[in-house]
Structure 1
Amino acid sequence: MTEPTHDEAHAGALGTRLNWLRAAVLGANDGIVSTAGLVVGVAGATENRAALLTAGLAGLLAGSMSMAAGEYVSVSTQRDSEMAALAVEKRELREQPEAELEELTEMLRVRGLSREVAREAAEQLTARDALRAHARVELGIDPDDLTNPWHAAWASFLAFTVGALLPLLAIVLPPAAWRLPVTVVSVLAALVLTGWSSARLGAADPRRAVLRNVLGGALAMLVTYVTGRLLGAAGV
């Protein structure tokens, strides 16, 4: 009985790490695309390095803070829902333990165990920790590993910032004549990497993910650059 529990703990930890890694890749991808679109749009209107740096930094800070705040609110809501569900389950276990034991037995039976084995397993799990058993089997929640909104917020903030730094540095460091080509090439190369990474983490076809990523980023830069050129030509 000890060995399966050990494997399950590792599987759960691995799944959590993969989810965080996937979120980090997607956050970096957002930082790349949104900041690239912003600085390329400004580059279409002006070659002034100070204006490009100001726009890029403003986009980086606004985007990273927005991502962090949104992730904090979202994960806080999820955590509140998990805690509320655990509170309901705790009350039901206290008020109607027999009904909850029967419910756990039925859920285990539906998963492929015979009635007798399911009943025995439910009794053993209940005797060990009834709340944890129901939380994992019925709710899909690990009471010892609830989502942390602060971790999610910081992860999103850092991932977006790292992604946004690439187009920002690419647009302000090279000479004026090289800024746009260096930025476009750097951004497309980074989008290839993040598209491939997100696909591999999700066990999907990397080619489709990379193509979607590159086309989306290229379209964003094209639209903002053309808009910047038009506004610059109009003297706005």
Structure 2
Amino acid sequence: MESDIHLENTRFGKLQEYLREFVYGGIDGAVTTFAVVAGGYGANLDPGILIILGFANLLADGFSMSVGAYLSAKSERDNFDKHEKIEYWEIENLPEIEREEIADIYREKGFKGELLDKIVDHICSDKDLWVAEMMKDELGMMRDSKSPFKIGLATFISFLLVGFIPLMVYLWDFFFPIQINTFLWTSILTTLAFLIVGWLKSIVNQTSAARSITETVALGVLAAVVAFYVGDILEQFFT
């Protein structure tokens, strides 16, 4: 059982590196764009206006979310770099104090006597290892290997790709008119998108697929229902 779990983690290891950003960007893109479509439908907006509002939301919100993801990741990296420089300065200028801190850390882990001394000597013989241990065990900080730019890019791309789905039917009907209930088919396609993204979310979080899918679909439907009735109510006031 344990080996199966580790195999599963390894299998998705490379994919998972930016899958989290893709999943949550996709969820946000689908939810917000579908909410705009539902609100416009509830307000009986012209399909052309609805498409304009949908794309405006898609691009503006997608850019905003990706910039936020980039800045958040960059801020965390900058904070890590700042504390890492401080630790390097401390082991250069306060080596005895820092050495004693390493000893305290491993003493709390249950090491003592000659073995403790050997561990401390080994760690303190390598400045990079020494700093890494201080960052991890003293400050509880570890460097994120992911690029802030790629985090923002993955978020933006997923927001656009998944967020475009609620607009597909309306866009097709605008250029190639078809006799179907556009909102119904939009709802069906968007629900399918929620199902897929919810399943991917279960992979990212290593949780139940059924629960993750249910949560994602419920969130999307709730947002759409709220937007629909808000649009319907406001349409009665302002038209």
TM-score (norm 1): 0.82
Question: Following superposition of structure 1 onto structure 2, how do residues 13-162 of structure 1 map, counting pairs within 5 Å?
Answer: 14=13, 18=16, 20-46=18-44, 48-128=46-126, 129=128, 130-141=130-141, 148-162=147-161
Q: CA deviation at 1:80?
A: 2.0
Q: CA deviation at 1:35?
A: 0.5
Q: How big is each residue's C-alpha offset from its partner over 1:149-178, in whole Å with a ceiling of 9 and x where there is no partner?
A: 322221221121112111121333243642
| Unaligned runs of at least 5 residues, structure 2 | 1-8
User: Closer, same or farther in 2 for the Cα pair 1:147/1:87, shift >3 Å?
Assistant: farther
- Distance of 1:107 and 1:63 partners within structure 2: 45
User: Closer, same or farther in 2 for the Cα pair 1:113/1:167, shift >3 Å?
Assistant: farther
SS at the partner of 2:31?
helix
- Distance of 1:221 and 1:131 partners within structure 2: 50
Q: CA deviation at 1:132?
A: 3.3
Q: Which moved more, 1:67-76 or 1:55-64?
A: 67-76
Choose which of 198, 202, 208 in structure 1 pairs with 2:201: 198
User: Closer, same or farther in 2 for the Cα pair 1:56/1:87, shift >3 Å?
Assistant: same
Q: Which moved more, 1:64-73 or 1:118-127?
A: 118-127
Q: CA deviation at 1:113?
A: 4.2
- Distance of 1:52 and 1:147 partners within structure 2: 37
Give the RMSD, CA atoms, in angstroms. Answer: 2.7
Which residue is equivalent to 1:231?
Answer: 234
- Distance of 2:117 and 2:15 partners within structure 1: 33
| Unaligned runs of at least 5 residues, structure 1 | 1-9
User: Closer, same or farther in 2 for the Cα pair 1:123/1:57, shift >3 Å?
Assistant: same
One-letter identity of the residue aligned with 1:227: V
Q: How big is each residue's C-alpha offset from its partner over 1:23-75, in whole Å with a ceiling of 9 and x where there is no partner?
A: 21011111000100001211222353321220111010111111022112222
- Distance of 1:235 and 1:137 partners within structure 2: 60
Choose which of 216, 221, 231 in structure 2 pairs with 1:218: 221
Is the 8 Å Cα contact of residues 46 and 232 (structure 1) preserved in structure 2?
Answer: yes
One-letter identity of the residue aligned with 2:217: V
Count of aligned positions: 224
User: Closer, same or farther in 2 for the Cα pair 1:91/1:232, shift >3 Å?
Assistant: same
- Distance of 2:123 and 2:169 partners within structure 1: 57
- Distance of 1:115 and 1:217 partners within structure 2: 59
Q: CA deviation at 1:213?
A: 1.5
Identity in percent: 26
Whether 1:180 aligns to 2:178 is no
TM-score (norm 2): 0.81
